[in-house]
């Protein structure tokens, strides 16, 4: 079922118990290291989190990325694929490649500079030849835009997707992802005009809590419905906290949430206490150089289910 109605979403959510044996968090993660890291002017056209006037330090970005991989290994195995100088800002693989049990899904990116990332044979072959995953390739679909887990936030324990419609994902893309991820329910909604991806305004924490930036949604009934679905276990972000990437967070185990040092520093004591009450420790990594490219920690992490 795909719905755009907050009321229909809540009614359907109430009927969907967690899936038997479904994991709320991934069993491994993969990253793509920066190589000759620069900012892509094409991506900046609809990514308001980028500032093309900022200078970037490729070696600092590489060091921060390496520290991220090492930190995440505290929770699960992490694979780092080498970067490609032909795609120097390709450090956000979750938009291009994603997995569901037994399947590799390849997204249809909006910009040509990002579409080139989908051509990487090593990532395709790792999942296909090494792990034996079936491939679902949306990259050649010219009639849709679907930037995977940038646009689609998934409650893996229940098989429910939250898809923000924007220049980076249209309704045809949402329908294609609903089928590719084999979701039971997808709630589609329009993001605010200034937003490009859902994962900078919404995070689901191990299928039991949420981080929400209400100003990222065009209809305020949408974030309220999502919070209600999770028993009002939500951390509500201010616009300033959203710009610090506090919603661009991820849980890679049942016990810890990861976000950038900038994002963690923007949280209040009350918000940190709420995370603790929900059973999460907070892990933070300095990604200040990588964040100049308009994404943060969650964008860097591809999940293996």
Band of residue 39 on the pLDDT scale cut at 50, 70, 90: low
Q: Report residue 172 as tokens.
A: 């045809």
Band of residue 86 on the pLDDT scale cut at 50, 70, 90: confident
The C-alpha atoms of residue 263 and residue 266 are separated, in whole angstroms, by 5
Phi/psi at 112 (5° precision):
-60, -35
Q: Report residue 48 as tokens.
A: 């308001």
Average of per-residue pLDDT values in the chain: 94
Q: Does the pLDDT of residue 47 top 90, yes or no?
A: no
Residue 15 confidence (pLDDT): 96
* Segment 155-166 mean pLDDT: 98
**185-190 and 202-205 strand pairing:** unpaired
- The residue with greater pLDDT, 85 or 102, is 102
* Segment 141-160 mean pLDDT: 97
Which residues on neighbouring strands pair with residue 267, listed in sequence order?
none
Band of residue 116 on the pLDDT scale cut at 50, 70, 90: confident
In the chain, the domains with their CATH numbers are 2-304 (3.75.10.10)
Strand-by-strand arrangement of the 185-190 sheet: 2-3, 185-190, 160-165, 152-155
Q: Which of 48, 2, 44, 13 is nearest to 191 (CA)?
A: 48
Q: Which of 91, 100, 247 is nearest to 177 (CA)?
A: 100
Q: Which of 61, 126, 115 is nearest to 91 (CA)?
A: 61
Residue 46 confidence (pLDDT): 59
Q: Does the pLDDT of residue 261 top 50, yes or no?
A: yes
Band of residue 52 on the pLDDT scale cut at 50, 70, 90: low
What is the SS3 assignment for 141? Answer: coil
Q: Does the pLDDT of residue 207 top 70, yes or no?
A: yes
List, for residues 121-135, the tens digit of each pLDDT value.
Answer: 999 999 999 999 999
Band of residue 45 on the pLDDT scale cut at 50, 70, 90: low
Q: Does the pLDDT of residue 48 top 70, yes or no?
A: no
Range scoring the smallest mean pLDDT among 36-45, 122-131, 143-152, 179-188: 36-45
Secondary structure E strands in 177-298: 185-190, 202-205, 209-212, 234-236, 250-253, 256-260, 281-285
Q: Does the pLDDT of residue 260 top 80, yes or no?
A: yes
Residue 42 confidence (pLDDT): 54
The C-alpha atoms of residue 146 and residue 155 are separated, in whole angstroms, by 18
Q: In this structure, are residues 181 and 152 in contact, taking their beta carbons and an 8 Å threshold?
A: yes
What is the SS3 assignment for 148? Answer: helix
List, for residues 60-85, the tens digit of each pLDDT value.
Answer: 999 999 999 999 999 999 999 998 88
Q: Does the pLDDT of residue 283 top 80, yes or no?
A: yes
Token pair 């933070």 is found at 284
Residue 206 confidence (pLDDT): 97
The C-alpha atoms of residue 198 and residue 222 are separated, in whole angstroms, by 12
**Alpha carbon 254 to chain centroid, angstroms:** 17
- Cα-based angle 165, 46, 300 (whole degrees, multiple of 5): 80
Band of residue 250 on the pLDDT scale cut at 50, 70, 90: very high
Band of residue 44 on the pLDDT scale cut at 50, 70, 90: very low
């Amino acid at each position: 079922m795909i719905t755009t109605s907050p009321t229909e979403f809540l009614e359907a959510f109430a009927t969907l118990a967690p899936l038997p044996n479904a994991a709320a968090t991934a069993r491994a993660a993969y990253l793509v290291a920066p190589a000759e890291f620069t900012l892509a002017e094409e991506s900046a056209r609809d990514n308001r989190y980028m500032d093309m006037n900022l200078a970037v330090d490729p070696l600092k970005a590489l060091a921060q990325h390496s520290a991220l991989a090492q930190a995440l290994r505290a929770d699960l195995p992490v694979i780092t694929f080498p970067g490609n100088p032909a795609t120097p800002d390709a450090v956000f693989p979750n938009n291009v490649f994603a997995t569901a049990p037994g399947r590799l899904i390849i997204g249809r990116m909006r910009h040509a500079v990002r579409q080139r990332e989908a051509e990487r044979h090593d990532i395709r072959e790792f999942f296909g030849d090494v792990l034996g995953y079936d491939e679902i390739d949306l990259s050649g679909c010219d009639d849709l835009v679907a930037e995977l887990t940038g646009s689609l936030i998934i409650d893996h324990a229940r098989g429910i997707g939250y898809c923000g419609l924007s220049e980076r994902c249209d309704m045809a893309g949402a329908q294609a992802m609903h089928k590719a991820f084999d979701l039971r329910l997808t709630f589609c909604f329009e993001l605010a005009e200034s937003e490009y991806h859902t994962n900078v305004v919404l995070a689901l924490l191990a299928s039991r809590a949420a981080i929400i930036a209400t100003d990222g949604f065009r209809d305020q009934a949408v974030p309220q419905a999502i919070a209600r679905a999770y028993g009002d276990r939500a951390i509500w972000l201010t616009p300033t906290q959203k710009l610090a990437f506090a919603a661009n967070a991820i849980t890679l185990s049942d016990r810890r949430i990861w976000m950038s040092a900038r994002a963690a520093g923007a949280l209040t004591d009350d918000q940190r206490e709420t995370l603790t009450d929900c059973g999460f420790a907070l892990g933070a990594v300095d990604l200040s150089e990588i964040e100049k490219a308009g994404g943060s920690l969650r964008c860097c992490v591809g999940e293996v289910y």
